[in-house]
Amino acid sequence: MNDSFASSDDRRSGDRLKHLQKAVFPEALILALGGELPGVECAYETWGTLNAEASNAVLVCHAISGDSHAAQHDADDDPGWWDELIGPGPDFAIDTEKFFVVCSNVLGGCRGTTGPGTIDPATGDPYGADFPAITVADMVAVQTRLADHLGITQWRAVVGGSLGGHQALTWATRHPERVKTCMAIATSPRLTSQALAFDIIARNAIQTDPHFHGGQYYDQPTQPNTGLAIARMLGHITYLSSEAMDAKFDPDRHDPRKLATSFEERFSVGSYLAHQGTKFTQRFDANSYVAISMALDLFDLGRTRETLIETFRGSLCDYLITSFSSDWLFTPQQSRDIVNALTALDLPVTYAEITSAAGHDAFLLPDEISQYGPLVAAKLGHTNDQPPALRHDDDMVLDLIPEGSSVLDLGCGSGRLLATLKQRGHEHLVGVEVAQPKIIEAAARGLDIIDYDLNRGLPAFTDNQFDFVILSATLQAVANVEQLFDEMLRVGRRVIVSFPNFAYKALREDYVERGRSPKATGEYDHEWYNTPNRRFPSIADVEDLCRDKGATIHDAVYLDSQTNQRIPATPDGDPNLDADTAVLVISR
């Protein structure tokens, strides 16, 4: 097979029936939109062993065209779609030696669970177009029956990507007591209008296929495979970034692979789409595609911040939200919208936007799994409990925080301060950081870290949400200082700002005696032309700004880190000259 034809989907073919289990639930299922099924069957697979307390069960939820075969069961087994995430031993984020992993085919699917292709007991024929309209909530309702059947009262975690993320979020909001951790990857609160448009055109292609026969095609000699293939081709556009498509197809743009299909093969990308579209018809049912994509389109946790907050109110679990920078189907901003609602409710959440050129498919790819896998592992308790090495000014900051206070640390880096506070017994701790390696390192300490650019302000947080907001050694890198001061004073009852003093005597000497832009050890140890810093205030400057902002300075600690001496405030000392570091405690 031509390399450019490889896709994550290629791993999802073949016979996995030997590991497929089936649960039959004969009670009628009343659906969210008013329909009813006289009973449902649920096909699922499991990995690992449920412990005696039934406390180690992880539910994995699949995306629109996935199925229950999330991972290989053994070396002879077909590959699974999340093989790099799920497997035996500590190399896997979801370690099947520790966890009992369950993955079921969704309601409406065509891989064993009740769907439009299932025989309707009332007629003896497949449901076809009579299959009632379903929602993600109905998919989850079937999964609750499965959980009951398996004796699982509470999932240790519900994990899913894309539509699987929608299922995880539905568990967390509709069955709060049954989920300990919700991990929603590459997902969204609802679809953008653009994403809806793709699904609508896909359904139009299927439903106007002359072989669709209003959905009653199962006894026909020909199935609506042309429409289904076109729907699948459209899906593939949305799964890849434009950059990824060019990397995959541009080198041999005019050298398409020859296939036996009725579709155009003039360009390499065309033969790829023809291949994917045609192959899909061999394993998927058009009615299932219509039913599941409509459930996806109807999924809606809320359009505004207020409605999203209402949706998540009452949720009890811990969250991991992950997005991918080049995902334009379920954008990072949509994940941020979820995170902002969770933080407003003080729900524990870690959020990372993983840098990737792969687009939506990123959540299935090994490179990206190696990035977000540690976040999944940390949420499942696989944390780094080494005490962090502290910086020279950290103790000054830590000493100012009373026992038990809640803390928001802005620009938290790898979580030094928060990890120390956690070891001291503080419970409500949140970190904000923008550098991906630091986010992953901090999250691995079991901290709640949010990937967040401070230059956006702090819209995720509510008034007086924290006892303390910390801005430690970060002020000098902030573009919009005034907005950030206003926001910190709004969100924290007290704000601690630690910063290097740009009017420290050694820096003044550089400037006055040598006529050179000041330069010193620590935060200012850069040349004028390559410093990442963009703000160069003195202690007096920052204190002026506090006063201008109507903030009260409650406490101030000044340090000369060169001599490790505290410098008294004026009139007994001149910290603006003699201290290279200051820590202020302010409030409005």
Whose CA is closest to 20, among 155, 113, 100, 139? 113
| Site for its own copies contains 540 (CB under 8 A) | yes
> Of the two residues 221 and 515, which places its CB atom closer to its own copies in the complex?
515
Q: Is the peptide bond before 571 cis (omega within 30 degrees of 0)?
A: yes
| Site for its own copies contains 198 (CB under 8 A) | yes
> Of the two residues 83 and 209, which places its CB atom closer to its own copies in the complex?
209
Tell me the site size for its own copies, rule CB under 8 A.
69
Of 222-241, which residues contact its own copies (CB under 8 A)? 226, 230, 233-234, 236-237, 240
| Site for its own copies contains 512 (CB under 8 A) | yes
Structure tokens at 328: 């334009």
Structure tokens at 457: 């302000």
From the list 12, 62, 203, 279, which residue makes contact with its own copies (rule: CB under 8 A)?
203
Q: Which residues pair with 470 in a beta bridge?
A: 409, 496
Amino acid (1-letter code) at residue 444: A
Contact 543, 584 (CB under 8 A): yes
- Active-site residue identified among 162, 323, 335, 414: 162
> Of the two residues 188 and 315, which places its CB atom closer to its own copies in the complex?
188
| Site for its own copies contains 503 (CB under 8 A) | yes
Contact 480, 500 (CB under 8 A): no
Is 360 part of the annotated catalytic residue set? yes
From the list 1, 528, 564, 571, which residue makes contact with its own copies (rule: CB under 8 A)?
528
> Of the two residues 329 and 349, which places its CB atom closer to its own copies in the complex?
329
Q: What is the dihedral of CA 36, 58, 305, 465, to 10 degrees?
A: 140
Q: How far is the CB of 227 from its own copies (least distance, A)?
A: 9
297 to 316: interface string for its own copies, x by CB under 8 A? x-----x-------------
From the list 25, 127, 249, 330, which residue makes contact with its own copies (rule: CB under 8 A)?
249
Q: How far is the CB of 452 from its own copies (least distance, A)?
A: 20
> Of the two residues 77 and 510, which places its CB atom closer to its own copies in the complex?
510
Q: In whole angstroms, give the CA distance from residue 43 to residue 139.
A: 12
- Can you give 105-163 as a three-state secondary structure string? CCCCCCCCCCCCCCECCCCCCECHHHCCCCCHHHHHHHHHHHHHHHCCCCECEEEEECH
Is 275 part of the annotated catalytic residue set? no
> Of the two residues 111 and 232, which places its CB atom closer to its own copies in the complex?
232
Residue 21's SS3 state is: strand
Measured CA distances, 22 to 38, 40, 124, 156 (Å):
17, 10, 21, 22
From the list 31, 150, 200, 569, which residue makes contact with its own copies (rule: CB under 8 A)?
200
| Site for its own copies contains 259 (CB under 8 A) | no
| Site for its own copies contains 325 (CB under 8 A) | no
Is 162 part of the annotated catalytic residue set? yes
Using the rule CB under 8 A, give the single segment among 43-51, 138-146, 349-357, 530-538 that binds its own copies. Answer: 530-538
Residue 58 sits at φ, ψ, to 5 deg, of -120, 125
Measured CA distances, 443 to 284, 285, 378, 460 (Å):
38, 41, 7, 19
Alpha-carbon dihedral sign for residues 47, 48, 53, 55: negative
Q: In whole angstroms, give the CA distance from residue 120 to residue 115.
A: 10
| Site for its own copies contains 537 (CB under 8 A) | yes
156 annotated as ligand-binding: no
490 annotated as ligand-binding: no
Sequence-ordered list of residues with C-beta below 8 angstroms from that of 34, at least 6 positions apart, any chain: none
| Site for its own copies contains 434 (CB under 8 A) | no
- Active-site residue identified among 209, 327, 578, 580: 327
- Can you give 39-96 as a three-state secondary structure string? CEEEEEEEECCCCCCCCCEEEEECCCCCCCCCCCCCCCCCCCCCCCCEECCCCCCEEC
> Of the two residues 19 and 203, which places its CB atom closer to its own copies in the complex?
203
Contact 581, 499 (CB under 8 A): yes
| Site for its own copies contains 71 (CB under 8 A) | no
| Site for its own copies contains 7 (CB under 8 A) | no
- The number of C-alpha atoms within 13 Å of 182 and in the hemisphere containing its C-beta is 31
| Site for its own copies contains 481 (CB under 8 A) | yes
| Site for its own copies contains 514 (CB under 8 A) | yes
- Active-site residue identified among 236, 275, 360, 426: 360
Q: How far is the CB of 534 from its own copies (least distance, A)?
A: 4
Q: How far is the CB of 88 from its own copies (least distance, A)?
A: 39
Contact 238, 329 (CB under 8 A): yes
Crossing angle of the two packed helices 225-239 and 193-207, in degrees rounded to 10: 160
Whose CA is closest to 168, among 433, 18, 426, 363? 363
| Site for its own copies contains 205 (CB under 8 A) | yes
| Site for its own copies contains 204 (CB under 8 A) | yes
Q: How far is the CB of 425 from its own copies (least distance, A)?
A: 36
Q: How far is the CB of 61 from its own copies (least distance, A)?
A: 24
Alpha-carbon dihedral sign for residues 278, 281, 286, 289: negative
Residue 22's SS3 state is: strand
From the list 266, 424, 526, 547, which residue makes contact with its own copies (rule: CB under 8 A)?
266
> Of the two residues 125 and 255, which places its CB atom closer to its own copies in the complex?
255
| Site for its own copies contains 332 (CB under 8 A) | no
Binding-site positions for substrate read: 232, 361
Binding-site positions read: 232, 361
Binding site for its own copies (CB under 8 A): 192-194, 196-198, 200-201, 203-205, 207-208, 210, 226, 230, 233-234, 236-237, 240, 242, 245-246, 248-250, 253, 262-264, 266-267, 269-270, 273-274, 294, 297, 303, 328, 331, 480-482, 502-503, 508, 511-512, 514-517, 528-530, 534-541, 544-545, 576-577
What residues are annotated to the active site?
A: 162, 327, 360
